[in-house]
Amino acid sequence: MAIKFEVAQVLQTWDPTQFDKYQDEDDKDLPPGTIRVRTGTTGEGGSERYAYPADPNRMPIPLYGEQVLIINQPDGQAKQRGEDKAYYISTVNTHGSVNTCVLPFLQDARSDTSIAAPSAIVATGAGQKAQQISWEEKDIVYLQPFQGDINYPDRFGSILRFSSTHLPSETSKYKKKPFWTGDIKNDPFVSLTCGAKDARTGKSIDKYYAIEDPMKDPSYIYLTSTQKFNKFDLAQPKVGKQVDKLNIYNESQVIIGANRLIFNARKDELILVSKKDVKIATPAWNTDMDEFFTQMLKLIEEVIKQNKNLEAAHNEIGKVAQADAITKHPTGVGFTGVADNSADFEASNQKSTSNANTTKQIRSAIEKIKGVIEGMKQ
């Protein structure tokens, strides 16, 4: 079956059918993403109809005034067999701009054919420019493609890039060089960048292409196989011991960058598992978690040792005080009686015994903490 493509202009309607639930002239619900289009020869009017997304899993909503490719195919919701309806496929790149393809006056004459909907359905008249709902035109620069890429840029400077390693000796033909590098040709590389700064600044007519920059872009996720990054500074200069820098490490890694990161486990645990170690760096501290817990355990063991020494000292003081309370000293005329302050010695003995018991209780609590930390060891 032959398929005929047509170019249709997207119309601004009183009811924004692509953004909310509306009905057609027969009170049938329009599918999500439905647009109103006009087909016909430039300046000679044409017929108006609804067009539906051809791919239900990919719905690039066009702007009012843009041109789209449409095809007529069977209507699965029709009451009778053989009825067709229009499906739109993609936007026509009329301006060579990633941000807008609006060319509003190609088919702006009113339709007078019998299949046209009432004119009230269209919010603009002949020669009038469509008013977008919430979009406004920006000068966005295309992001540099590389040979073999499959890229999905949006209108606003973001991009999902499926690319690979391009050796530095082979990148002279590209206006912008890759922001990643590597030693193995065509090893896969995937990146998702939100609002690449280079694409959102300057004039597209002058720059022609832009490139992502992990030092400047608002947020990004990089999935590497063997790639390295020569231009990449971490938020802290020290991130722990024996960490390969990003311009050296050439094994697979996932890099996430933004002004703030939130990992929100709404039901179960947040699990961080590492074959080697977990590094944590803040403005005041940089630490290896293995080293941190090892030193913490050593500190607790030293505290327990000192606690035992302190308990022994309290016991020894108690023994001395008890002995002094009952000791009689020889003199030239015989032995003295019990010291007048023997009660003080006895009180000191009792205090020392109490201190020794308290010290032992403290050690018991510390040993429990030690047991918990030891239970964390692999």
What is the predicted pLDDT for the residue at 1? 61
Predicted confidence (pLDDT) at residue 353 exceeds the cutoff of 90: no
Which pLDDT does position 334 carry in this prediction? 54
- 253 neighbors 224 (Cβ within 8 angstroms): yes
What does the alpha-carbon distance between residue 87 and residue 243 come to, in Å, rounded to a whole number? 54
Looking at residue 108, its pLDDT comes to: 55
pLDDT in tens, 189-244: 999 999 999 999 999 999 999 999 999 999 999 999 999 999 899 999 988 888 99
Dist. CA 360–CA 130, nearest whole Å = 83
Cα 196 to Cα 219: distance, rounded to the nearest angstrom: 8
Q: What's the average model confidence in pLDDT over 7-12?
A: 88
Q: What is the pLDDT of residue 268?
A: 96
Highest mean pLDDT: which range of 92-96, 103-107, 249-253, 286-290: 249-253
Q: What is the spatial distance between Cα 256 and Cα 223, in angstroms, rounded to a whole number?
A: 9
CB burial string 12-27: b at 16+ within 10 A, e below: bbeeebbeeeeeeeee
Give the model's pLDDT for residue 126. 60
Residue 292 pLDDT exceeds 80: yes
pLDDT of residue 377: 74
Q: What is the pLDDT of residue 119?
A: 43
Domain residue ranges in the chain:
1-134, 138-262, 289-375
Higher pLDDT, 208 or 40: 208
**Tokens at residue 359, please?**
């010290």
Mean pLDDT for the stretch of residues 163-176: 95
pLDDT score, position 87? 94
Residue position matching structure tokens 């195919």: 73
Q: Which residues contact 310 (CB under 8 A, 6 or more apart)?
A: 359
Q: What is the pLDDT of residue 113?
A: 43
Percent of the chain with pLDDT over 70: 81
The total of other beta-carbon atoms located within 10 Å of residue 181's CB is 19
Long-range contacts of the stretch 310-316 (C-beta < 8 A, 24+): 310/359, 311/356, 311/359, 311/360, 311/363, 314/352, 314/353, 314/355, 314/356, 314/359, 315/352, 315/353, 315/356
pLDDT value at residue 13: 83
**What whole-number distance in Å separates Cα of residue 30 and Cα of residue 5?**
22
Domain 1-134 sits in CATH at: 2.40.50
* Tokens representing residue 24 in the block: 């057609």
Tell me, what's the pLDDT at 142? 96
Type and span of the H or E element at 181: none
Of 234, 220, 229, 242, the closest CA to residue 158 belongs to: 220
pLDDT (0 to 100) of residue 112: 43
The residues facing 51 across adjacent strands are 35, 86
pTM of the model: 0.81
pLDDT at 326: 53
Task: State the Cα angle at 257 between 166 and 199, rounded to 5°.
Answer: 60
Q: Distance between CA atoms of 178 and 247, rounded to whole angstroms?
A: 14
Tell me the percentage of the chain whose pLDDT exceeds 90.
46
Query: Does residue 170 register a pLDDT over 60?
Result: yes
pLDDT at 116 over 50: no
The per-residue pLDDT for range 11-22, each reduced to its tens digit, is: 888 889 999 999
Please give the Cα distance from 150 to 178 (Å, whole number).
Answer: 15
pLDDT at 68: 93
Which pLDDT score, from 0 to 100, does residue 129 have? 72
Mean pLDDT of the chain: 84
